[in-house]
Structure 1
Amino acid sequence: MSDLNWPNPLIEQRADPFILRHNDHYYFIASVPEYDRLEIRRASTLLGLRDATPVVVWRKPDSGPMSELIWAPELHLIDESWMIYFAAAPSRTIKDGLFQHRMFALECRDADPLSGNWLERGQVQTPIDSFALDATAFQHQGKNWYLWAQKDPVIPGNSNLYLAELENPWTLKTPPVMLSRPQYQWECAGFSVNEGPAVIRHGDKLFVSYSASATDENYCMGLLWIDADADPMQAANWSKSARPVFSTHWDHRQYGPGHNCFTVAENGADVLVYHARNYTEIEGDPLWDPNRHTRIKTFRWDQHGMPDFGVPPAEQ
């Protein structure tokens, strides 16, 4: 099966997908519909992830700050440590219009993250104690960086995007800088949201994609970028697209594409990993609808070095 003919969806009922390629293997982690555990799949091909056996590496406790709504895990390898970042809440209670999520980290120092021992490193502390989620990490300019979404009580809306350098994989080294907040109509449909950031380097630019609006058919992707040699901690150095870069395609019946990440196909092509639904008739809160499926597609770069994600392809 060629890289342009992956099954769509690739993996059913896995939202907030994250794929890491390391040493000729692909590792997959995502939110499960029960929001109660962290599981990893491994395969030698992207297609192989579809039928790979999930290995549960952590389950939520019965009580405490990590006991409910385990969301949006990511798997990273930082300074020879495997790290899982995820968000969790102490209960399902909504306070001041938001869930009570904070960000947490697990570390595994063994070679194999599927069979190794995972240690709880606790909450990733930020200067504001507020709703926070969707952490990712990346290396740039010889430093390790942490990028996430968080509510600032003095800014209207649900969440903004923040960046800080890491002291170690679960501790911030610098005060955060806000890179983006919901400002356009397409970022504020249903809810004012910037979340789910993902990082990719191409040419002389560093890009951050992110997701915006409510998690129904309004969900879509935005884009930030910066010159690769510029200081990423200076917000003024970042540019922001005034339009979404990947969004619902009504003819293809692909609704609310987003919460993406990036990987590389076996043939070297850049791959967009994302979730989307194939219907809009959701009963109740979209959060509890399990059918945000993991999907993947290749994408290209235009003559200006900008990503062109195209449109969400129809199911096959």
Structure 2
Amino acid sequence: MKTNENNIKWTEYNKPFILNRADPYIYKHTDGYYYFTASVPEYDKIILRRSKTIRGLQESEEVVLWTKHETGEMSKHVWAPELYYLDNKWYIYFAAGEAENIWEIRPFVLECEDENPMSGKWVEKGKMQCDNEDPFSFQAFSLDGTVFESKGERYFVWAEKVSVGLQISNLYIAKMESPYKLKTAQVLLTTPDYDWERVAFWVNEGPAVLKRNGKIYVTYSASGTGACYCLGMMMADENSDLLDPLSWKKSRNPVLKTDSEKGIYGPGHNSFTKSEDDSRDLMIYHARPYEEIVGDSLLDPNRHTMILEVKWDEKDIPVFEYLKQEKTEF
């Protein structure tokens, strides 16, 4: 066990992969590079780094692709960027608020037509657009958009607070018409049903998609952003109607949560990638190395990027191995 300059004990479990980078996202591209982006503590820019290896991301150059506006849309709380290569172009999905109304959070899209996203020109495509017949999507606090494909269709999953009554953050899913517009109305995927999803705030957010042998898994973050932050999971068969809520089963218990013995607090907002030889699935997530936070947890910079290897049980259900976890039940 080693101690760093802040007197935090680093172990094999809680030693950060990349310091001070929350909501981490790693994308493995066909050009042989891993691309890494994340929220920065200042919430004012979008960064990107790349490497031929995952470990190389730790020391690779970090480039600022875009910085926030001074006023209006995209001028506050730049959160949770995700990078994709869709239709022969690069896209970044991220959330941002307004300096004049900092909680007016909405999802936005950047586009790059150049081969190298590190040096290419990024163009603002504006707010993510809903289907023409959908009057509800992206009308209230909305963030954490993620994209996946299945059976020739492209889907968008995001978090959005209901616009009336108790401000609950739910997850929604819709098909995509283009990289920046939906072609179906939103469908409610999950709402905070369980006690572990309702600590500090009623929250489901930060979806991430993992596939294996005909099954689609969606992990998501729940509760407030302190030590209570944790991950739940949903599962569907790829041959089912993914816009039918009954196609999805939800885990009864969190699949990743605080483990004080290992010094991991508030694990959440993950992404998935593959090892260099494509033989292993890896979870990229953030956590803190301590429980007590002074002041607003969103202003604490020490949510660090972590990595763990995904294991699979006899039913092909993912197991996130640092935990002495309960068996996942749907």
Q: TM-score, normalised by structure 2?
A: 0.89
Match of 2:122 among 106, 118, 123: 118
Determine if contact 2:106/2:127 at 8 Å carries over to the other structure.
yes
Secondary structure of the residue that 2:261 maps to in structure 1? coil
CA shift at 1:153, angstroms? 2.2
CA shift at 1:93, angstroms? 4.3
- 2:263 and 2:47 map into 1 onto residues whose CA distance is 29
Instruction: Report how many residues are paired.
Output: 305
Q: Does 1:241 align with 2:241?
A: no
CA shift at 1:266, angstroms? 1.4
The residue aligned with 1:34 is: 42
Identical-residue share of aligned pairs (%):
46
Secondary structure of the residue that 1:40 maps to in structure 2? strand
The one-letter amino acid paired with 1:305 is D
Determine if contact 2:13/2:263 at 8 Å carries over to the other structure.
no
The residue aligned with 2:106 is: 102
Match of 1:22 among 22, 29, 41: 29
- 1:79 and 1:123 map into 2 onto residues whose CA distance is 19
- 2:174 and 2:320 map into 1 onto residues whose CA distance is 27
The one-letter amino acid paired with 1:274 is Y
- 2:87 and 2:210 map into 1 onto residues whose CA distance is 19
CA shift at 1:92, angstroms? 6.8
- 2:305 and 2:106 map into 1 onto residues whose CA distance is 24
279-288 vs 121-130, which deviates more?
121-130
Q: Does 1:279 align with 2:290?
A: yes
- 1:92 and 1:158 map into 2 onto residues whose CA distance is 23
- 1:131 and 1:157 map into 2 onto residues whose CA distance is 9
Q: How does 1:40-59 map to 2 (within 5 A)?
A: 40-59=48-67
- 1:111 and 1:203 map into 2 onto residues whose CA distance is 32
The one-letter amino acid paired with 1:220 is C
- 1:305 and 1:90 map into 2 onto residues whose CA distance is 43
Q: How does 1:1-316 map to 2 (within 5 A)?
A: 8-23=15-30, 24-91=32-99, 93=101, 99-126=103-130, 127-128=135-136, 129-154=139-164, 156-267=166-277, 268-311=279-322
Determine if contact 1:247/1:311 at 8 Å carries over to the other structure.
no
Cα distance 1:288–1:312, how it changes in 2: closer, same or farther (>3 A)? Answer: farther
- 1:72 and 1:185 map into 2 onto residues whose CA distance is 25
Secondary structure of the residue that 1:101 maps to in structure 2? strand
- 2:153 and 2:168 map into 1 onto residues whose CA distance is 29
The residue aligned with 2:9 is: none
Secondary structure of the residue that 1:243 maps to in structure 2? coil
Determine if contact 2:72/2:100 at 8 Å carries over to the other structure.
no
Deviations 1:233-268 (A, max 9, x none): 001111000100000001011000010010011132
- 1:155 and 1:236 map into 2 onto residues whose CA distance is 25
219-228 vs 147-156, which deviates more?
147-156
Deviations 1:284-306 (A, max 9, x none): 11000000000011111100110
- 2:323 and 2:304 map into 1 onto residues whose CA distance is 12
Determine if contact 2:256/2:323 at 8 Å carries over to the other structure.
yes
Secondary structure of the residue that 2:268 maps to in structure 1? strand
Deviations 1:129-175 (A, max 9, x none): 10000001111110111110001124634310011111110001110
Cα RMSD (Å) = 1.6
Determine if contact 1:91/1:100 at 8 Å carries over to the other structure.
no
Q: TM-score, normalised by structure 1?
A: 0.93
Secondary structure of the residue that 1:115 maps to in structure 2? coil
- 2:144 and 2:118 map into 1 onto residues whose CA distance is 22
CA shift at 1:8, angstroms? 2.6
CA shift at 1:7, angstroms? 8.6
- 1:190 and 1:110 map into 2 onto residues whose CA distance is 43
Secondary structure of the residue that 2:57 maps to in structure 1? helix
CA shift at 1:12, angstroms? 0.2
CA shift at 1:125, angstroms? 2.9
Deviations 1:107-140 (A, max 9, x none): 0111110111111000013433100000011111
Deviations 1:203-254 (A, max 9, x none): 1211100000000000000000101100100011110001000000010110
